[in-house]
Amino acid sequence: MSGGIAGGTSGQPLFSVLDVEKAYEVGRAPSVRRFARGEPRLLHALDGVRLDVGDGDAVALVGESGSGKSTLVRLMLGLEAATEGRLLYRGADLGTLSGEARRVFSREVAYIYQDARGSMNPRMRVGDVLAEPMRLHGLCTDAEVPARVGALLERVGLSATMRDRFPSELSGGQVRRVAVARALASEPKIVFADESVAGLDVSVQAQLLNLLRSLRREMGLTLVFITHDLGVASYLCDRIAVMYLGRVVEEGPTGDVLTRPRHPYTRALMDAFPSFGRPLGAPLRGEIPSPIDLPRGCRFASRCPQARDACRETEPVLVADGPGRRVACAFPLSS
């Protein structure tokens, strides 16, 4: 399709990421000739990512910093273009959306920022922050805005009187709730959230997670949640996609992945995650390869305790590994 968004075909993913690559130029290599410019040096933030997000899914993107999670979400939001590959929303290529189709996409796809306070205009009151998407998308008349703003605030557990405050007057938990309300103001189909509970007290985190979980159930929302916290992922999401150096290395139902990881990197993340009743596992050894100079073969081989010679020669691809499971490993774990 070009330029339009379908109304939703049965069985068609809401989002499809098809062999997407994203590279950034970070300078040029030295040239052997005087005054000549060398070849561009590229940082490969994403390298052949494939991922489907179905209507009503809750998918966690998990991995260390620098794994490509946030870059992938920026591309799915249409904020940046892919270097290679395609991103489809309801079957339409994001690169071809224009006019009415672009407006529909911007209304149906919402984002909850990690820095909720910094994402809001400090000169705007909370009521104006929430009213802005409603007016932008023409969802109601000006006379209806105050009632809708009050209802949104109450829906996320805040008093309607909060509309008169500025973001600087809110606590950390309150400003995150306002950020959730702003994302819901455009009546979206899918919400992306980037570490939306990070840095908060445990009790406040639990309240926000319960809020997101109930909103997803009540409103039928699709959720893509970026996190490094496996506990958050297991509580909030039905599926997990584990990323390492720009690639998805394991994907599947949350319970299956966390109880029976097939990729050594997933196992290492689990061993590093605090859990009552067992000591922390030993940290991964070895250096993380540079995304500017990726190694031959498996990019996790330099840190993998089970790497073999074949791992350093051939790069594994993401293949099916049981019902709903995919793994990119030449020698998957057996248990």
226 lies in which domain range? Answer: 15-31+39-327
Q: Is residue 280, in this structure, part of any structural domain at all? A: yes
Enter the tokens of residue 225. 């949640």
* Torsion angle defined by CA atoms of residues 210, 212, 218 and 221, in that order, rounded to the nearest 10 degrees: -150
Q: What is the pLDDT of residue 197?
A: 76
pLDDT at 283: 65
Dihedral (Cα; 52, 58, 64, 69), 10-degree rounding: 50
Instruction: Give the HSE-up count for residue 89: Cα atoms under 13 Å, Cβ half-sphere.
Output: 24
Give domain status of residue 124, yes or no: yes
Report CA-CA distances (Å) from 149 to 3, 40, 185, 188: 32, 50, 8, 16
- pLDDT value at position 272? 77
Q: How far is CA 222 from CA 36, 39, 58, 95, in A?
A: 51, 42, 6, 22
Whether residue 261 contacts residue 250, with contact meaning beta carbons closer than 8 Å, is answered with yes
Domain count, the chain: 1
User: CA-to-CA distance for 166 and 170, rounded, in angstroms?
Assistant: 7
**Ranges under pLDDT 70 in the chain:** 1-4, 6-11, 29-38, 274-283, 335
Whether 43 maps to a domain, the answer reads yes
In a domain, 5, yes or no: no
pLDDT score of 190: 96
Q: What pLDDT is stored for residue 78 in this prediction? A: 93
pTM attached to this predicted model: 0.89
Q: How distant, in Å, are the alpha carbons of 72, 189, 190 from that of 81?
A: 10, 22, 20
- Asked if residue 4 is part of any domain, the answer here is no
Q: First CA to last CA across the chain, in angstroms? A: 43
Structure tokens belonging to residue 132: 């802005």
Quick check: is 228 in a domain? yes
Cβ neighbors of 20 (< 8 A, separation 6 or more) are 46, 48, 49, 50, 72, 75, 82, 84, 85, 86, 87
**Separation of alpha carbons 193 and 179, rounded Å:** 10
What pLDDT is stored for residue 121 in this prediction? 94
Q: Give residues with Cβ within 8 angstroms of 277, minimum separation 6.
A: none
Whether the CB-CB separation of 79 and 244 falls below 8 Å is answered with no
Whole-number pLDDT of residue 1 = 40
- What local confidence, expressed as pLDDT, does residue 254 receive? 95
Would you say residue 333 lies in a domain? Answer: no
Three-class HEC string of 210-230: HHHHHHHHHHCCEEEEEECCH
CATH of the domain at 78: 3.40.50.300
- What pLDDT does residue 2 have? 46
- Whether 334 maps to a domain, the answer reads no
Residue 30: what pLDDT?
62
- Contact in structure between 158 and 149 (CB atoms under 8 Å): no
